[in-house]
Structure 1
Amino acid sequence: MPLADIPVELFLDNLLPLADVRDVLSLGSTDRSFAALCADETFWKRKCKEDFNFTSQETARQSGWKNLYRGLRYPKIFVWGQRANGRLGLKTIPKGLGVGIPYPIEVKIPGSRIVSLVAGGMSFHAVDSEGSMFVWGTLNGESQSLHSEGFSVKYKTASEPHRLLMPNPIRTVSCGRLHTMALDSKNHIWTFVNWGRPFRLDSPMLDCSLPETTPMQAESGWSFSSILTHSGDILAFWPFSGQVGRLCDEENLAMDEWGTCHAYPTSDRHIPCVTWTLRADPLRIPPIPELPELNDTGLSQEERSKRTTLIKIAAFDNHIIGLTNKGHVLKFGDLSNEKSFDRTTRWQYLENFSELSKVASHPAFRDERSGLTAPTSLRITHITAHFETFVAYSTGSSSIILMGDVHTNKDSQPKVIPYLQNRGVISTVLGDYHYGALTADGQLLTWGQYSHGALGLGIPTELPLGAPGGYATESQLSQSRRSQWGPLEPPSVILPSQVHFNHGPNPGGRRFCFAATAAGWHMGALVACLEVGSLPGFECHC
């Protein structure tokens, strides 16, 4: 049978996945029909997951998977912002920049292909294509540790990236201000209040042998932890207070007395984690209420007929944002501590973040000066949250970005930034006072406060007057250049502006940002060079 007569489905599902990438590229260069077949987005998305463990769970990417595949062969890690607590993980710091680095600078982890990067309050966490987890900075920077102490001490700083030696490969990571959660390949959830002694919460409510009690997502709030199961239930616990916090403190004190569980780093910067099990039941968040049917969501009749359930959560300061399979956005709190948890508290349905008619009537879409056209269809598909801010957004070229905060209620209007609408945004990231949006074409846009360089837009004294991240007047610029205490705080950036990854003596080729993260007063990104590779069409000149 001639190749051209083989059904497309057989090619995509059975033949191409078995072929070497070189052969796939060669086949795609033979004629137009094979070129289209070998550029199939689903095929390259599958290859990104199989070959590099990149699932795009942190973004809403729908296209560009072939370009991303070649970029994932040699991804680069960039960080910037405040450098206290060793959070930038750099051996040497450029001189003359004060307490922060205001532009992206590369962090290298030799021998590892990093595919996920997550910022904590004073740290970074990275996962490579093999599921190894790396950390740098300080998990809890509220005090200091002795040089002789190991990573059983929560204040211990990793001034360079260190690999955590864990029992199973890590799939996802989520950071609060002073703690971290990780979901591993066996659906076990690990909580870190220090990097040397992570604990696994053991409870019948997290029975991985049953689909309904198997964790689907682990999400760290500002000071609490939350878990979404496959059945749509949400569980919460507090690693610093309540029953879990008390048991955690007791176990750490006992291990201190044993004197053998200090998790001293090795000479090759490995942290031998002393893992343990904490047996306690988390608290169950009340179920979501009955919700109205949403119109013009683009869902099929079969999808509309399914039970409405939570599919994503985002946690921030004492609150949780929930997203259903049909696009409803909800908010739940107060979750400041175990004692504040009230089982009579109910979810608030945020109709102004969910319903097309409400969003289309927002003043930003009715103001002719904004140049925005009101959406004609809407289904929120992604949410993110940090500190006091959350974002709900849709995807595609007509993506809608809606922002709220801890004070948002059922009657609140979302904040709409006109410049971000219809930009193909696939991810939003939030620091304390600075924010970022990643687009499908690889641009990272930032706005908000300077925060010791967390916007990453360049050295303020070297930017033109009025440029984003620079100074508004000549007097401000002159004063900053004369200051012996470092540059003055530039004005906040209102219009989201592009971060460039070509600083330094070796700027490299075309850069494509495929993942970003933010927290505290710092930011990071994973960047690919679009000229990467040794395969045909995958050459690298970086």
Structure 2
Amino acid sequence: MLLNDLPPTYHISSKMSDKTTSITDLPLDILVLIFPYLPADSFLALCSTCKAFQQPSIRLDPAYWSFATRSTFRIPNQPVVQHDGVRWQKMYRRLLTQSRVFTWGNNGHSRLGHSYDERVHGLPMMPRVIRPGRPNRFRLNTHCSFPKEMEDTRSLGVISDMQCGGWSTTLLTARGTLHTVGVLDGGRVFAAIDRLQPLGFPPGYPSSSTETQYDEPATAVRQFSAGRSHILALSDSGRIWSWYHVKSAALQIKFTHLEMKEIALTDQSKESSTHGKVRQVVAGWSRSSAYIHGVGIVVWDPVERDHDDETTDTMLVMQNAEVPRTGYQRPKGRRSETEEERTLGQDVGALLNYIILEHYVVFVTDVGKVFCGKFGERNEVANILELRALRNETGTPSDVQGSFRRFAVFKNNEVITSDQSYLDACWNDQRNNPDQTNIPGLKKIPALQNNDVISVSFGDYHYLALHSNGKITSYGTELQACGALGLGSELDDEGHARGIVYDRFSRDGRLLPHSYTRGRQVWFESSKKDWISHIMNGGNNIEEAKERLELFKTSHDVQGEVSEWLEQESRHWDKQNTGDDDLGAYFALRVSSAGWHSGALVLVNDDLANQESLRSFEDQSFPRLVLSDGTEMPGQKPFDGWREGRPQLIFDTES
């Protein structure tokens, strides 16, 4: 009998007795072992058969919906919300039809995947190269300061993941296909205007057709990582692929000193050993890496073919390094541990996640500890060092995320951010200060604490946080007003309204400290952009608002408080129509940043989005507030109140 044919009551018989037993009599820990074998429609059908299966612990089982969503759509795991069954179920339903990709920031090399034939508001970076045979029209690469949907993506089906590289943006579809726009090495390519295109494999693999080549487990991508100038991918069968150029076929990675095992999808044996199988790949700033079961973190230099080589399909890595003490795995079944293994499990633990920074590897383990190791010659890591101030004293697992020079550690609903200078201080003071006492450099941004942050992504000078309610908040600096913060343009005063101060000469946009108490959300609604433009132009009474606008432009404190008031109005706006599933018109699943640009994978409810576009705000005027120091802003209109109360601004972020 098939599992999805199983009735709510079944008959068990033996020679000794006949007994009719209900499936609802089975304990929950047995049922949850059965559920993953059911497709979503069968699981929902089973839940509808009786009241017992309608209880939230079963119908909204987080283990089931997390597995179903990740296995069906190749969505990366999100450890912070892995026990939120409601979120995973809603995500599953909307992913079927509503995944969209938005990008913003520096559009050099056409890395944003849009605005090919129109001028995005902002200043140009450089002239585009005009190809022979094309109309001789002068085009400019420009900045984009407000999220805009990528072109050429809706025909790809469900988008499962997106990541920004140094000069590129790459998408993973539910079919396991990878598509990239921009270039992988902007240091050697002056400009590019190519549109989104699939990443390919060497000749001889299943098919040269991009429509079918990913159907083979050896080339269907399960997980990928975009580095500064290269991309790594892990296939369904466990192969590692590496790209160094968008138009060049991938190279399969093998090692001379390591044996990797592929997953035999047709193997019906009960052999459960994972030793030698690749779990994860991570592309760093200038390094490639993979976590291999039983070995640990393996690091090597990015690979390329020789200039005159077009046929090589496999790169045999002669020189690689292994990060010490990262290969420990908790024993399963009755396997006993040696004394050395038990000690390693207590002192270090089993690795949960890791990142590759410019000069360090940082990883977290299942005993709540965070470690780092410094790269030496040929990627060697001589030893690892626990970052004691980041230890989770409860012993529960933490998470780490980051890239280039900055990172964030998640523990107990807190998010602690830091950079390589902190790692340098801890590393260089191991002898004199082994307890790492009073080493500065750890920050707790108020808006990220106890605020359901799922992930933090870092660009060169800016960073973005994704919250469990599907909102994205933005922090840091955008160089040359490139728009990487996604909060609006310098020229239309949108950026000023959101709390950005622009340098007069460099035009670098820095987010005011006032914005770090509750954060500044990235908006996807064009109606909000129109609303903020209306407000910054004086609203419905330009003359009455004239003095307040002048005060706003000359005082950073006034700018910060008005910006916070506008933020509260926007959040109130969001609460008015969230839809049947409470996810709203735009619900972000993934956020990514690199270099000077950013992007997000967003579920879009078109019906709600269309309603948002009809919102009217013509009767609103520039706000008149009583400031925190008691100053009353000039004007004749009544004072505006605070939707969420006047915030107690926090400017000290040192942990």
What range is the shorter-chain TM-score in?
A: 0.7 to 0.9
Match of 1:352 in 2: 389
Question: Which of 114, 135, 156 is the equivalent residue of 1:111?
Answer: 156
Counterpart mapping for 1:333-482 below 5 A = 333-335=374-376, 338=378, 341=379, 345-356=382-393, 377=394, 379-394=396-411, 398-409=412-423, 410=426, 411=436, 412-413=439-440, 414-451=442-479, 452-463=482-493, 467-471=497-501
Match of 1:21 in 2: 41
Kindly state the Cα deviation for residue 505 of structure 1 after the two structures are TM-superposed. 11
Cα 1:327–1:20 change in 2 (3 A) is: closer
Match of 2:254 in 1: 202
- Cα separation, 2, equivalents of 1:171 and 1:346: 31
- Cα separation, 2, equivalents of 1:305 and 1:342: 25
Match of 2:357 in 1: 316
1:527 aligns with 2:578: no
TM-score w.r.t. the length of structure 2 is: 0.62
The size of the alignment, in residue pairs, is 453
Cα 1:307–1:436 change in 2 (3 A) is: closer
Question: Which of 589, 594, 601 is the equivalent residue of 1:514?
Answer: 589
Do the aligned residues in 2 keep the contact of 1:391 with 1:402 (CA within 8 Å)?
yes
1:137 aligns with 2:212: no
Consecutive unaligned residues of structure 2, counting only runs of 5 or more, are 1-6, 10-21, 124-141, 206-218, 263-272, 329-341, 427-435, 531-578, 614-655
Match of 1:236 in 2: 299
Match of 2:112 in 1: 88
- Cα separation, 2, equivalents of 1:522 and 1:384: 18
- Cα separation, 1, equivalents of 2:176 and 2:260: 22
Question: Which of 140, 149, 159 is the equivalent residue of 2:194?
Answer: 159
Cα 1:20–1:287 change in 2 (3 A) is: closer
- Cα separation, 2, equivalents of 1:443 and 1:434: 17
Match of 1:264 in 2: none
Q: Deviations over 1:123-166 (max 9, x none)?
A: 01111001001111111112337xxxxxxxxx8x4632111234
Kindly state the Cα deviation for residue 348 of structure 1 after the two structures are TM-superposed. 1.7
- The one-letter code of the counterpart of 2:260 is D
Identity %: 21
Match of 1:123 in 2: 168
- Cα separation, 2, equivalents of 1:23 and 1:208: 33
Match of 1:490 in 2: 509
- The one-letter code of the counterpart of 1:106 is E
Question: Which of 319, 326, 332 is the equivalent residue of 2:367?
Answer: 326
SS at match of 2:308: helix
- The one-letter code of the counterpart of 1:458 is G
Kindly state the Cα deviation for residue 444 of structure 1 after the two structures are TM-superposed. 0.9
Do the aligned residues in 1 keep the contact of 2:455 with 2:467 (CA within 8 Å)?
yes
Kindly state the Cα deviation for residue 353 of structure 1 after the two structures are TM-superposed. 1.0
- Cα separation, 2, equivalents of 1:289 and 1:129: 31
- Cα separation, 2, equivalents of 1:141 and 1:193: 11
Cα 1:18–1:229 change in 2 (3 A) is: closer
Kindly state the Cα deviation for residue 67 of structure 1 after the two structures are TM-superposed. 1.2
Kindly state the Cα deviation for residue 489 of structure 1 after the two structures are TM-superposed. 3.6
- The one-letter code of the counterpart of 2:400 is I
Q: Which moved more, 1:22-31 or 1:75-84?
A: 22-31
Kindly state the Cα deviation for residue 182 of structure 1 after the two structures are TM-superposed. 1.2
- The one-letter code of the counterpart of 1:185 is D
Do the aligned residues in 2 keep the contact of 1:458 with 1:469 (CA within 8 Å)?
no
Do the aligned residues in 2 keep the contact of 1:235 with 1:282 (CA within 8 Å)?
no
Do the aligned residues in 1 keep the contact of 2:366 with 2:396 (CA within 8 Å)?
no
Do the aligned residues in 1 keep the contact of 2:279 with 2:293 (CA within 8 Å)?
yes
Identify which of structures 1 and 2 has the higher relative contact order when contacts are C-alpha pairs closer than 8 Å and 6+ apart.
1
Match of 2:54 in 1: 34
Q: Which moved more, 1:454-463 or 1:113-122?
A: 454-463
Match of 2:522 in 1: 499
Do the aligned residues in 2 keep the contact of 1:468 with 1:493 (CA within 8 Å)?
no
SS at match of 1:71: helix
SS at match of 1:211: coil
Q: Deviations over 1:337-377 (max 9, x none)?
A: 52xx556x321210011143xxxxxxxxxxxxxxxxxxxx4
Consecutive unaligned residues of structure 1, counting only runs of 5 or more, are 146-154, 240-244, 256-260, 262-273, 292-300, 357-376, 481-486, 534-539
Cα 1:111–1:221 change in 2 (3 A) is: closer
Do the aligned residues in 2 keep the contact of 1:221 with 1:318 (CA within 8 Å)?
no
- Cα separation, 1, equivalents of 2:599 and 2:593: 6
1:173 aligns with 2:224: yes
Do the aligned residues in 2 keep the contact of 1:461 with 1:470 (CA within 8 Å)?
no
Cα 1:408–1:29 change in 2 (3 A) is: farther
TM-score w.r.t. the length of structure 1 is: 0.74
Kindly state the Cα deviation for residue 521 of structure 1 after the two structures are TM-superposed. 0.5
Do the aligned residues in 2 keep the contact of 1:317 with 1:388 (CA within 8 Å)?
yes
Kindly state the Cα deviation for residue 11 of structure 1 after the two structures are TM-superposed. 5.8
